[in-house]
Structure 1
Amino acid sequence: MSALCRVLSFAKEKRRIKYHPIPSFERLYKSDRSEKVWLPELQHQFIRLARLSMKTAMILVRNTGMRAKDIRTFPWTRYNGIQLQIRSSKTGKLLWIPATRELRDHLDSLPRSGALVMLTPSGKAYQRRYFNEHWREDCDLVDAANAAALGADADFVRTADLNFHDNRGTAATQLCEAGATPQEVAEALCWTVERAQRMFEVYMARRGVMAANAITKLEEYRERTGDSLASQEANRR
């Protein structure tokens, strides 16, 4: 069904058909991608190897958590050198957020040759299909480089197992690990608080952060109350 939907979307985009009979459909299952995140070192490698437009896309999603559609249509007017303005195309919410140093350095180095930050080699706006093609081509460069360096049979994270939006999971995870609350994550990523809370519980639990925090608190509690074995031994002396 997914393949048929893509074919029909392409046909409508090329004006071969007037009506898309299944623009969206409810899936019988939802894939669990909670463990599918781009490791920071893999993101860095992609940035080194990718063409400029895809490098820009990675730096934007890595620093803002924006969705691909919002990145493809992101205009220069929403960046003032210090902050950038993000609109959630799902909720319509518009807000200004600080631009990280990494993002500012990259955007300030780009030529402003059009209304949009990201343009195709011919100077046009990226359509979804063309964006996905370029993204996958540059992902393949990363996998090929790792296979050449480590061996084709080596156990390493392949970008072929990841998609663009898995970078949003990385951004959300890093925000949580940096101490952001679910409410702050929701504002930064234009999510609902409920979705951010679910993400917080799933990602943080599976990465062991919550368990590690709990053990640290247990250790601190035992030290305060003298309940540790070391404290008991010291009291006997």
Structure 2
Amino acid sequence: MENNRNYTYDSVIQLDSNPSTTRKFMANVFLWMFGALAVSAGLAALFAFNVDMRAYIVNQETHSLTGLGLLAAFSPLAFVLLISFGFNRISYPVLAVLFIAYAAVTGISLSGLLLAFTPGSVLGVFITASVIFGVMAVAGYVTHQDLTKFGSLLIMALIGVIVATVVNMFLRSEGLDYIISYLGVAIFVGLTAYDVQKLKRIGEGLEYGDANAPKLALMGALSLYLDFVNLFIYLLRIFGRRR
């Protein structure tokens, strides 16, 4: 799930620091984020607990992924890259459709987690992730400390975690897997505060009615969506109880 995070809204300059403009922008960001999470959670539950739907992604005889299952497993990264690199060329309605489609395929791919871990532990980890995310989001919004350098270090650390994850696919080291999971939690806890502060500054730099505001809000929602989902997955790998 550690997808491309290099979005194209770094060059926004401050034009208007009207608090109402900032609040409206941030509300739009979180509305999109929560909507995407709802889509993902709904489809994850549907494909995990409905036997007929599950058959579309997992062959019940061989327990291997079907074509749709493989598509759901490997297409999220393609969606993120398409949305990120197509930001300046794709219209807002198309970006919105791509974002919802991304949330849908991500939800389908996450359905396996609901089957691998007990429902109680999944719910407990989800609540924990929500509380941690909320606390760090508030911290990032209200802090006056500049988190720019801190965020750059976290992104470099994330790249290291991705490389270590790929290496561990061959090593299959349980100890390294736990280290990666703990580092992943720390990284996405920090990135949540960093991204919220970054989005707040973007909101402060928007003029009321700016044509790019809806697209920037959608990209911000994608960033926070990735923070939350990855935080949830790493916490589940540490504290989740397998069936």
TM-score grouping bracket, smaller chain normalisation: under 0.3
Q: Which has the higher helix share?
A: 2
Larger Cα-atom Rg = 1
TM-score, normalising length: structure 1: 0.22
Q: Which has the higher strand share?
A: 1
